[in-house]
Amino acid sequence: MEPMQIVDFSKPYVIEVDSSDSTIGAVLLQSVPDQGIKPAAFASQKLTSTQKSWSTIEKEAFAAIWALDKFRGWIFHKPVTLYSDHNPLTYITESATKSSKLMRWSLALQQYDVIFKIKAGRVNVVADCFSRLDD
């Protein structure tokens, strides 16, 4: 079992997120010299009945927003790379004009220095595990 990483507030962060039918999960990571990327915090949350009815991409986008808010105390005003097996940023920004929910999410993203990247689900193991705790 990997030990938890003590956060170094001077370094950038990585967040990996995933969603399942009923739960979202996230892990906050940070690079450690000569040791690779290490976990600093884990989080998961069950979805409400309304959230469970959302499309997969909406759940993934919500997981991203939720994780950024969950880890806000560590990441605020710091560079963050957020990995998901979907592209929530494109979905939020391109669809925002069609939905008040997505418009709120789009506005919420503006407070973060975040870059979104896609990471195949089969290698997004930790976030995937936390998003499946209730399945």
User: Would residue 32 count as lying in a domain?
Assistant: yes
pLDDT recorded at residue 27 = 93
Tell me if 111 sits within 8 A of 86, measured CB to CB: no
Range of the domain at 37: 13-131
Residue 119 near residue 63, CB atoms below 8 Å: no
Give CA–CA dist 18/29, Å, rounded: 15
The β-bridge relationship of strands 13-19 and 79-84 is parallel
Residue 21, domain CATH: 3.30.420.10
Q: Which helix (H) or strand (E) holds 95?
A: helix 88-95
Quick: pLDDT tens for 97-120: 678 888 888 889 899 999 988 876
Q: Is residue 8, in this structure, part of any structural domain at all?
A: no
How confident is the model over 9-63, as pLDDT tens digits?
888 999 999 888 999 999 999 988 887 888 999 999 999 999 999 988 889 899 9
Looking at the domain assignment, is residue 6 inside a domain? Answer: no
> Is residue 106 included in any domain, yes or no?
yes
Q: Look up the pTM and report it.
A: 0.83
The answer as to whether 103 is a domain residue is yes
- 34, 28 Cβ separation under 8 angstroms: no
Question: Is 2 part of a structural domain of the chain?
Answer: no
In angstroms, the Cα distances linking 14 to 33, 89, 127, 132, 135 are: 15, 16, 12, 20, 25
Coil/strand/helix, residue 16: strand
Q: How many domains does the chain have?
A: 1
Cβ(40)–Cβ(7) under 8 Å? yes
Residue 26 lies in a domain: yes
* Rounded Cα gap, residues 70 and 66, in angstroms: 6
122 part of a folded domain: yes
Question: What is the reported pLDDT for 120?
Answer: 66
